[in-house]
Structure 1
Amino acid sequence: ESVRIEKEVLIKAREYCKKNGIKLTWFVSRAIEDYIKRLD
């Protein structure tokens, strides 16, 4: 259950960064993608 919440938080954080023009470095966004995949 906590894993699902964690995943939603990550996705929201990523959307927030996109909306506010905060540039995630390529490396960071890759790491987040991989992490989300691993949670699935």
Structure 2
Amino acid sequence: MMDMFARFRRMTGSSVLFPLGLDRNGLPIEMAVEKKFKVRLSST
């Protein structure tokens, strides 16, 4: 969702600083699922 706002602002001509990798949907979520369900997800 944050990416959507950054893209919109860029399209309207605004200067936008949006560092990549700041979302919270990747590794932290995966680690929480592994811990809660006591499983190890495959890395492939």
TM-score range, shorter chain: 0.3 to 0.5
TM-score, scaled relative to structure 2: 0.42
- Structure possessing the higher radius of gyration over alpha carbons: 2
TM-score, scaled relative to structure 1: 0.44
The higher-RCO structure (CA 8 Å, 6+ apart) is 1
Which structure has the highest helix share of the two? 1
